[in-house]
Structure 1
Amino acid sequence: MLDIINLASIPAFLLIFVRVTAFFVALPLFSYKTIPTHFKIGFSFFLAFIMFYTVDSPPIPIDGTFILLLAKEAIVGLLIGLLAYIILSAIQIAGGLIDFQMGFAIANVIDPQTGAQTPLTGQYFYIIALLFLLSVDGHHLLIDGIFYSYNLIPIDAYVPFQNQSLIDFVIDTFNEMFLIAFQMAIPIVGCLFLVDVALGIIARTVPQLNVFVVGLPLKIVVSFIAILFFLSLYMVLVKSLFETTFEAMHGLMQLMGGA
């Protein structure tokens, strides 16, 4: 009870609260506009309150160094959450590639969760991926990520943000994200490419047929059939994407912690 009212422990609690709040600001699923702001703040507060009694927090004085520690905690939380968001954006990129071939690229919709324009197929895939993430308790693993980050990045530790290996790791993660997006899109994009080749042959052999009128609905039908057949492959790739997300978060924390 004395620890609760101990004023010397307030700086350490504020540092934990800043990291947890910054993490949820950028993390997928928790950062959406459909979740009330006071719920995010309250959830971050109580989670930080629980973590405060399990994390080794040395006495931290409130001085100029404390301001730098606050900025460091905010950057660490944002980087970890943003990295997870960037990797999961591979689903949106794959949907954009598919929509471009289908002809749905001109029909982007506003995502009420993020407020940004998203492709139709990408939004469909993304919702399935989030439901899959919730069904396997992946959101608990994301929360575990910020909890175990204190084992690698202590509160009073210095983080070398200008480290070249850290920059190279982020670039490699970007490359991995685009590779997974290409793997998700290539089965359907490949089928649509064959449809384009067939329509080109038909246009040369039967000039009387208007392929521009026939091609668009034909490509949409072929796309839906291909999505139905390759949906099981898509779930395997989504599982690989989640594994990449957790490994990337752990690798980023190791680099920032100097491990």
Structure 2
Amino acid sequence: MINYLFTVYTFEYFLMILVRVASFVFVAPFFGMNNTPGRVKIGLSAFLALILYQAILPKESLEYSGTIEFAIIVLREGITGLLIGFAANICNSIIVFSGKVIDMEIGLAMANIYDPMTRTQSGLTGTMYNYFIMLLLIITDMHHYILRALIDTYQLIPVNGTVFDWEHLMSTMSMYIADLMVIGFRIVLPVFATSMILNCILGVMAKVAPQMNMFAVGMQLKVLIGFSVLFVTIILLPDISNFIFREMKRMIVSVVEGMY
């Protein structure tokens, strides 16, 4: 039987669950996109918090001596949810970084568009890849994994039980920066290799036929060949998404390990 009766102590416990869940939904990929209506985020957070309130047993009353300690508990729960969501969301910057490098290689670095997901100016290739990765995230049910990861954290990190290991969290970010460069350049490699070969050919042609304007010809060839390579390598998007989703899982696990 489901019991929805609240006392003063259990209502405080429910509020702490709501704070962590709402903080997670605010920054998590797919759930926290800027083009998602705010009412949907609030409703989803409240619904998940209500379900978790019924699932988490036993419910212990929060122990605090004043308003300041209660505010500290709220901040601790909010930071916990933010870090879990941020660990998954930050992995999207890998595809954005790769898109910027690809745009520089094929000559589209200045052709930026407004991305409603991030509310910033983004490159064409990065925006296209980002939407593809988000679509694959939904198709592969990766958003369910991220949501289950949040729910499972209550078994390891109970309410008001977060202990921040800042050294571990800093090492996690250092690991992510290294993985960002490695995975990003793996994605860029087909376009980068093709562009390097094209530059070598243009350099030879500039010596053989100096009367030709290689700058004007090269810009057009880079765009044409760059789009051709992107069209051919579009079948590699599932493998690219595997790299990014695997990195999401590593980041979420590593961040959670640094909070208990």
Classify the TM-score, shorter chain: over 0.9
Distance in 2 (CA, whole Å) between partners of 1:189 and 1:235 is 20
Partner of 1:119: 123
Q: Which residue of 2 aligns with 1:47?
A: 48
Structure-2 residue corresponding to 1:169: 172
* Counterpart in the other structure of 2:202: 199
Q: Runs (4+) of structure 1 moved beyond 4 Å? A: none
Shift of 1:178: 2.2
**Map of 1:232 onto structure 2:** 235
Residue 95 of structure 2 corresponds to 91
Distance 2:152 2:237 in 1: 30
Single out whichever of 198-207 and 117-126 deviates more from structure 2. Answer: 198-207
Letter in 2 for 1:13: F
How many residues are paired up?
A: 256
Q: For 1:178 and 1:83, locate their aligned partners in 2 and report how far apart those are by CA, in whole Å.
A: 17
Query: Mapping of 1:210-229 within 5 angstroms?
Result: 210-229=213-232
Deviations 1:114-168 (A, max 9, x none): 2111110011111111111111111111111111111121112142243x12211
Amino acid corresponding to residue 223 of structure 2 in structure 1: I
2:3/2:54 contact within 8 Å kept: no
Distance 2:60 2:132 in 1: 43
**1:69 Cα deviation after fit:** 1.2
Task: Structure 2: state its 5+ residue gaps.
Answer: none
Residue by residue over 1:142-198, the C-alpha shift from the partner in whole angstroms, topping out at 9 and shown as x without a partner, is: 111111111121112142243x12211221122112211111011111111111111
Shift of the alpha carbon at 1:232?
Answer: 2.7
In the other structure, the counterpart of 2:76 is: 72
For the pair 1:128 / 2:132, whether they are aligned, the reply is yes
Q: How many angstroms apart in 2 are the aligned matches of 1:101 and 1:179?
A: 18
C-alpha distance in structure 2 between counterparts of 1:4 and 1:103, whole Å:
62
Secondary structure at the aligned position of 1:33 is classed as coil
Inter-CA distance 10–226: structure 2 relative to 1 (3 Å threshold): same
CA distance in 1, matches of 2:175, 2:37: 34
Match runs of 1:25-36 below 5 Å: 25-36=26-37
Identical columns (%): 29
* Pair 1:10 & 2:14 matched: no
**Matching residue within 210, 230, 249 for 2:252:** 249
- C-alpha displacement of 1:233: 2.8
Is the partner of 1:58 in helix, strand or coil?
A: coil
| Counterpart pick for 1:189 among 188, 192, 205 | 192
Flag structure 1 segments of 5+ consecutive residues without an equivalent: none
Work out whether residues 24 and 40 of structure 1, in 8 Å CA contact, stay in contact via their aligned partners in 2. Answer: yes
Scaled by the length of structure 2, the TM-score of the pair is: 0.93
Whether the 8 Å CA contact 2:100–2:125 is kept in 1: the answer is yes
Contact 1:11–1:61 at 8 Å: present in 2 too?
no
The residue number in structure 1 matching 2:145 is 141
Q: Is the contact made by 2:33 and 2:117 (CA closer than 8 Å) also made in structure 1?
A: yes
CA apart distance, 1:3: 4.9
Contact 1:184 1:234 in 2 (8 A): no
Aligned-residue Cα RMSD (Å) equals 1.6
> 2:20: which partner in 1?
19
TM-score, normalization by structure 1? 0.93
> Which residue in 2 is equivalent to 1:58?
60
What secondary structure is seen at the aligned counterpart in 1 of 2:29? coil
Instruction: Label 1:178 to 1:55 Cα distance change in 2 as closer, same or farther (>3 A).
Output: farther
User: Which residue identity does 1:145 align to in structure 2?
Assistant: A
How far is 1:255 from its partner?
A: 2.0
